[in-house]
Structure 1
Amino acid sequence: MSSDQSSNQKKTNQFTIIKDDPNDGHEGYGIGSISLENMSSVIIDPNEDQAFVDMEAMHARSAVERRVKFQSDRDAVPNGLVYWVVWVTVEKGENGPYFAGVGGSELVVDRSIKRAYKSMPEHVKHMEDSLKGKIRVEHMDEHSKKLLKDFLANFEGGDMWKNSTDELKNALPN
């Protein structure tokens, strides 16, 4: 995506922070369901050196995922560009909101042939890990991890980053 296209898009750099329990005071239907209200999706584009929140990734409709047909075989997209959808869960702690869980999932996109690759089981697993407060970024390349770290550390003044665990801070390069 060119910088002109990205500047014309509405920027929604906003993390969702956990809300009240939707089942509070109610029994029966919905009990035991998973709430995604405190999860956001951050797109890491190492090709353009950018990171941005794109909530449409929650429904596989992010700017990167549009207008391509997904393949289950990575070899079907040999000349594709690598992107990451990073599932970020935000919780409230003693000092305020913080990044509690982070899981990076790979996307490979070749716009010239309108094909892309992603592993749905991997995306689901990384979303689940993020919701459980786990940090899963060890499989990401160093440049992408640096972009993610810079984005999180500078997000809205950096308070959420400061409140985050040492595990997250140590998983992402300085």
Structure 2
Amino acid sequence: MEENKKKLGFNIIKKDPLDGHKGFGKGALTLDNVSPVIIDVEAGEAVIDVGAMHARSTVEKGIKFLAKKEEVPNGKPYWLVWVTIDRNEEGPYYAGVTACYMTVDREIRRGYKSLPEHVNRMDKSLKRHIIVEDMDPKSKKVLADFLLAHNEVLWNNSSEELKKGLSAE
């Protein structure tokens, strides 16, 4: 059964349907180039979970999210990282990487996350921002290792801002 599961990867950039077209919608942002990565802080693991696009990742399913961290004192920490891929002269690269914090307590089926922050960070990723400074050093390393292992070319073509932002310094 497991071997039948399709391995998920980052969305690869499709040919721009508006390429060369200067009319309505030119320059519009598209969700085709963004992928959500979930980092389990305690386990030190990162996975792509496209369900997060609609707040339906494996981690989020069956959880009622509250707006205050204090209401979920035993919540397990996670990072939802929005990763946007683009292409420049050098080739494809990780263009936008933004992290959002959340916690989940499976026992009480409650969690904490700031929905406005998650939406805004996805938007910032689409607009090619790097926002990873809130992440703990261990999670930064997990994300850096994951992005590098996923595609070395994308990592090598990425900005120094991203690489420094995810370094353990």
Aligned partners of 1:8, 1:76: CA distance in 2, in Å? Answer: 39
**Aligned CA distance change for structure 1 residues 162 and 35 (closer, same or farther; 3 Å):** same
TM-score (norm 2): 0.88
**Aligned residue type for 2:166:** L
Identify the residue that residue 136 of structure 1 maps to in structure 2.
131
The Cα shift of 1:21 comes to: 3.4
After superposition, residues 60-79 of structure 1 pair within 5 angstroms as: 60-79=55-74
Q: Which runs of 5+ in 1 are unaligned?
A: 1-6
Are 2:150 and 1:159 aligned? no
The answer for the alignment partner of 1:127 in structure 2 is 122
AA at the equivalent of 1:91 = D
> Cα offset for 1:33?
5.2
Is the aligned partner of 1:37 residue 2:41?
A: no
Q: 1 CA distance for matches of 2:81 and 2:90?
A: 24
**1:70: how far off?**
1.1
**RMSD, matched Cα:** 2.1
What letter matches 1:166 in structure 2?
Answer: E
State the shift of 1:54 in Å.
0.7
Secondary structure in structure 2 of the residue aligned to 1:37: helix
| Structure 1 counterpart of 2:96, one-letter code | G
C-alpha contact 1:80 1:108 (8 A) present in aligned 2: yes
- Runs of 4+, deviation exceeding 4 Å: 22-28, 30-33
Distance (whole Å) between structure 2 residues aligned to residue 9 and residue 151 of structure 1:
23
Corresponding letter in the other structure for 1:143: K
CA contact (8 A) 1:87 1:102 kept: yes
Match of 1:3 in 2: none
Q: Percent identity?
A: 49
Aligned length: 166
TM-score by length of 1: 0.86
- Aligned partner of 1:96: which letter? G
Compared CA separation, residues 100 and 31, structure 1 to 2 (3 A): closer
- Corresponding position of 1:99: 94
SS at match of 1:128: helix
**Runs of 5+ consecutive residues of structure 2 not aligned to the other structure:** none
